C-alpha cells in the first residue's frame, strides 16, 4: 500500500469496511463518488469495476483524471439511468446525510443493486450529544462543518437509520460501527461516530 | 486528398464509382500506429480542424481551441486526422463535383449519403493511411454521430469514442427544423431542382434562411439574450421592415456569409443524413440492442443549455451503454452556449477532455 493510500484509508475508515463487503469482481455503483477514490480503491483491492455518480464539476473532472467511470447526474432525481438489479453493490458512503430525498435514494439503491452499502456519521455519538446538550451544533472529526456551511441536511443516528430501513422494508444484513477507525461493539449509538451498513431489499 | 477508384455502395443502394476524400493530419503517426485520433466534423465544417494555412492566415481550423500542440487533444502525442465527408462542398466528392457519367456537375443526381456511408469512406481512408485502429474517434453533434457509428460499423477499430452534444437519433422537433431549412432551399426560384450550377446561379435566399433557422437553434435563449438583448441596431424603431434589432442584423450577417461559401445541395444531404441516423432503427427502436456490438470505451458530453440536442438525448445513449455494461463516463456541463457550446472553450469541458485524452494508453 502506498503512503497516499494509507492516508486515504486513515481519512476514510469506512472504505476498508466497504471493501470488505464487496466481493472480488463485483459490479459497483458509488453514489456521490467525489473524486473517485473509493472506486479506485475497490478496483485495486477487489478488482471490482464500477461507476461513480457525482454532480460536482470539479469532482467529475477529478474522476476522469483518476480514470474512474463517472456519470454526472443528479442523485436527487433518482437513478433512472440504471436498470433494476444491474449492479452487485450500490454504495452511498457518507453522502446519506447530504441527500434531500433520503427515502427515494434508499429505495432506488435496493432497486438498482442486489446489495446496498450505506455509511454515515452517527449523530448519536456522545460527543455530538454533548455539544447539543451544551447548546451548540456539533463539530467533530466525523462532522467537520460549522452549521452555516455544512452540506449536510439530514443528520441521523444509528437508531434513526434502522427505524427508516424497517419502514422502507429494507433489510439490514450487516452493520459495522466505528470510532477513529476501530470497531465499536459496546453502546454503538453512543460510542460510534461512523456507521456502515450492508442492506438488501426486504 | 485521397482518391478512391473502388466503387462505394451507399446505404440508399446507390453507388459512387469513384470518389475523393479531402483530409488533413496533425502530429505524427507513431511506429506502433496506435496514436491516431479521427476528428469528425459537423454540419458546416470541414477537414480543416486546426491551425492556419501559410497563404490563408485568417482561416483558423474549426476546432483549433481543442486540437494542437499542448492543447487538450495534444498533437505532440496524438496523430490527428480530420476528414471531409462525402457530399461536402469543401473538397471531398459532392454534388458540385463532376459526374463522370455526364461530364457535368452531379447536382440533384448526387446520391443521398448517410452517417454509415461516411464511416465506410473514412474506414477506407484509414486503410490508406495505415491506421488499423483509432486510439479515439471524437466529434460534436453530427460529428459525434459518426463517432458513435464507428463503434458499431467497426467495433474493433475504435478504442475510445468521445460523443459530444449528440443524440442517438433526432427528435421529430429536430427533423422539423431540418425540413424547414430544406424547404427554404428547395422553394428558392434559383434552386432549379438542384441543377443550379449549370444555370450559373445559387439559391442564396434559401440558404440564408436555412442558416438563420439553424443559428437560432444552435444558440440558447440565454446566450442570445446575453449577447444581443433587445439592443437596437438603429437609433429608434423604424416602423418598417428593415433591421431594428441587433439579433436581426446578426442573423442576416450569418445567413449572408453562409450563402457565399456553402452549397445548397450539400445542405440538403447533410440534413437528411442527420434525420436518417438511427442505429436503433434496425432493432425495433431498442437502442441497447443496437449498441450491443460496440466495444469502445465512451465519453459522452452534453450541455445543459443545448436544446437542439438536449442532455436527455445523451442520457438515453448513456443508459443504453450502461445496459450493455460498456465503459462510459458522462458529463453534463452547465455551459450557457447552447448546442454550439461544444465548439467553445468552457474550462470544465476542456479540462475533462484533456484528462480523458491523457489517460489513453498508446
DSSP B334: -
Q: What ipTM does the predicted assembly reach? A: 0.93
CA dist., res. B63 & res. B361, Å (int): 23
**Residues near A90 by Cβ (< 8 Å), separated by ≥ 6?**
A28, A29, A31, A109, A110, A112, A113, A115, A116, A117
Cell numbers found for residue B288:
441497447
Record: contact B331-A65, CB cut-off 8 A: no
Q: Minimal CA–CA distance to B317: which of B300, B305, B334, B337?
A: B300
- Contact flag A65-B355 (C-beta cutoff 8 Å): yes
Is residue B171 within 8 Å of B312, Cβ to Cβ?
A: no
| A63 chain-B contacts, CB cut-off 8 A | 329
Q: Do A57 and B348 touch (CB under 8 A)?
A: yes
Q: How many CA atoms lie within 13 A of A100 on its CB side?
A: 5
Instruction: Find the radius of gyration of the CA atoms of chain A.
Output: 16
Within 8 A by CB and 6+ apart from A148, the residues are: none
Q: Which residue of B has its CA nearest to A70?
A: B329
Alpha helix (H) residue ranges in B132-230: 142-153, 172-186, 204-218, 221-228
Query: Within chain A, which residues score under 70 in pLDDT?
Result: 1, 5
Size of interface A-B (CB pairs under 8 A): 52
For residue A1, the model assigns a pLDDT of: 61
CA distance B324 to B148: 15
What separation, in Å, do the N-terminal and C-terminal C-alpha atoms of chain B show?
27
Instruction: Answer whether A86 sits within 8 Å of B322, measured CB to CB.
Output: yes
Whether residue B138 contacts residue B39, with contact meaning beta carbons closer than 8 Å, is answered with yes
* Cell 445543459 belongs to residue: B304
Query: What pLDDT does residue A9 have?
Result: 72
Query: Do the Cβ atoms of B332 and A73 come within 8 Å?
Result: yes
Q: Strands, DSSP E only, in chain B?
A: 2-4, 8-9, 15-16, 19-21, 23-26, 36-40, 67-68, 73-74, 79-83, 98-99, 104-105, 136-140, 160-164, 297-303, 328-333
C-alpha cell at B36: 491516431
The secondary structure of residue B291, as a DSSP letter, is: G
| CA dihedral for A187, A192, A196, A201, sign (positive or negative) | positive
Judge whether A84 is closer than 8 Å to chain B, CB to CB.
no
Q: What is the pTM of this model?
A: 0.95
* B259 counts as catalytic: no
Chain A residues whose beta carbon lies within 8 Å of the beta carbon of residue B325: 27
Closest CA to B272 of B9, B28, B10, B35: B10
User: Which among A71, A81, A86 is the nearest to B329, CB-wise?
Assistant: A71
Question: Per the structure block, which three cell numbers stand in for A68?
Answer: 474512474
Give the pLDDT score at B160.
98
- Residues on chain A touching B352 (C-beta within 8 angstroms): 60-61, 64
Q: Which of B74, B263, B306, B340 is catalytic?
A: B306
* Contact (CB<8Å) A64/B325: no
Instruction: Extract the C-alpha cell encoding A29.
Output: 455503483
- Exposure class string for A89-124: b at 16+ Cβ within 10 A, else e: bbbbbbbbbbbeebebbbbbbbbbbebbbbbbbbbb
Contact between A65 and B358 using a beta-carbon 8 Å cutoff = yes
What residues of chain A lie within 8 A of the CB of B315, using their CB? 73, 81
User: What phi-psi label fits residue A135: left (phi over 0), alpha (psi between -120 and 50 degrees) or beta?
Assistant: left
Q: Examine the residue annotation and report whether B141 is marked as an active-site residue of this protein.
A: yes
A43: chain B residues, CB-CB within 8 Å = none
DSSP-derived 3-state class of residue B154: coil
> Mean pLDDT of successive 10-residue segments in chain B (362 residues)?
96 96 97 98 93 92 97 98 97 96 94 98 98 98 98 98 97 97 98 95 97 95 93 94 96 95 97 98 97 98 97 97 97 95 97 98 94
pLDDT of residue B70: 97
Amino acid at each position: 500500500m502506498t503512503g497516499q493510500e494509507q492516508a486515504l484509508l486513515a481519512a476514510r475508515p469506512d472504505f476498508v469496511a466497504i471493501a470488505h463487503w464487496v466481493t472480488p469482481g463485483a459490479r459497483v455503483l458509488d453514489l456521490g463518488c467525489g473524486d473517485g477514490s473509493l472506486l479506485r480503491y475497490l478496483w485495486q483491492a477487489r478488482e471490482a469495476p464500477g461507476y461513480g455518480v457525482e454532480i460536482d464539476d470539479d469532482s467529475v473532472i477529478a474522476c476522469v483524471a483518476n480514470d474512474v467511470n463517472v456519470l454526472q447526474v443528479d442523485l436527487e432525481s433518482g437513478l433512472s439511468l440504471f436498470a433494476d438489479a444491474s449492479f452487485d453493490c450500490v454504495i452511498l458512503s457518507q453522502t446519506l446525510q447530504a441527500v434531500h430525498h433520503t427515502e427515494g435514494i434508499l429505495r432506488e439503491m435496493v432497486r438498482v443493486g442486489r446489495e446496498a452499502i450505506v455509511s454515515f456519521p452517527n449523530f448519536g455519538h456522545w460527543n455530538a450529544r454533548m455539544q447539543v446538550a451544551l447548546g451548540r451544533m456539533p463539530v467533530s472529526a466525523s462532522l467537520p462543518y460549522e452549521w452555516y456551511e455544512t452540506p449536510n441536511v439530514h443528520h441521523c443516528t444509528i437508531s434513526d437509520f434502522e427505524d427508516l430501513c424497517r419502514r422502507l422494508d429494507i433489510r439490514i444484513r450487516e452493520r459495522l460501527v466505528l470510532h477513529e477507525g476501530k470497531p465499536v461493539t459496546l453502546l454503538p449509538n453512543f460510542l460510534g461516530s461512523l456507521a456502515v451498513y450492508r442492506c438488501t431489499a426486504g | 486528398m485521397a482518391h478512391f477508384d473502388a466503387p462505394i455502395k451507399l446505404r440508399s443502394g446507390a453507388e459512387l464509382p469513384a470518389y475523393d476524400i479531402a483530409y488533413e493530419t496533425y502530429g505524427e503517426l507513431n511506429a506502433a500506429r496506435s496514436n491516431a485520433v479521427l476528428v469528425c466534423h459537423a454540419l458546416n465544417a470541414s477537414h480543416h480542424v486546426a491551425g492556419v494555412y501559410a497563404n490563408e492566415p485568417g482561416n483558423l481550423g474549426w476546432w483549433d481551441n481543442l486540437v494542437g500542440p499542448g492543447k487538450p487533444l495534444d498533437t505532440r502525442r496524438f496523430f490527428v486526422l480530420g476528414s471531409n465527408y462525402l457530399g461536402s462542398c469543401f473538397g471531398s466528392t459532392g454534388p458540385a463535383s463532376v459526374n463522370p457519367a455526364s461530364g457535368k456537375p452531379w447536382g440533384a443526381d448526387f446520391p443521398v449519403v448517410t452517417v454509415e456511408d461516411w464511416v465506410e469512406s473514412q474506414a477506407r481512408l484509414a486503410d490508406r493511411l495505415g491506421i488499423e485502429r483509432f486510439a479515439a474517434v471524437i466529434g460534436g453533434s453530427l460529428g459525434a454521430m459518426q463517432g458513435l457509428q464507428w463503434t458499431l460499423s467497426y467495433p474493433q477499430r475504435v478504442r475510445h469514442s468521445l460523443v459530444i452534444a449528440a443524440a442517438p437519433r433526432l427528435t421529430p422537433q429536430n427533423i422539423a427544423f431540418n425540413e424547414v431549412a430544406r424547404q427554404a432551399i428547395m422553394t428558392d426560384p434559383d434552386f432549379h431542382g438542384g441543377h443550379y450550377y449549370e444555370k450559373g446561379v445559387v439559391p442564396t435566399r434559401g440558404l440564408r434562411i436555412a442558416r438563420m433557422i439553424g443559428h437560432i437553434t444552435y444558440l440558447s435563449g440565454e446566450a442570445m439574450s446575453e449577447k444581443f438583448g433587445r439592443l437596437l441596431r438603429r437609433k429608434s424603431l423604424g416602423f418598417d421592415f428593415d433591421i431594428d434589432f441587433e439579433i436581426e442584423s446578426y442573423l442576416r450577417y450569418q445567413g449572408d456569409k453562409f450563402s457565399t461559401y456553402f452549397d445548397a445541395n450539400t445542405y440538403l444531404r447533410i440534413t437528411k443524413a442527420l434525420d436518417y441516423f438511427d442505429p436503433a432503427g434496425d432493432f425495433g427502436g431498442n437502442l441497447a440492442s443496437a449498441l450491443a456490438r460496440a466495444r469502445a470505451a465512451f465519453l459522452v458530453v452534453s450541455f445543459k443549455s443545448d436544446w437542439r440536442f438536449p442532455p436527455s438525448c445523451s442520457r438515453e445513449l448513456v443508459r443504453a451503454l450502461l445496459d450493455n455494461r460498456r465503459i462510459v463516463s458522462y458529463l453534463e456541463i452547465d455551459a450557457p452556449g447552447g448546442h454550439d457550446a461544444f465548439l467553445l472553450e468552457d474550462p470544465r469541458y476542456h479540462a475533462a477532455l484533456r484528462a480523458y485524452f491523457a489517460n489513453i494508453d498508446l
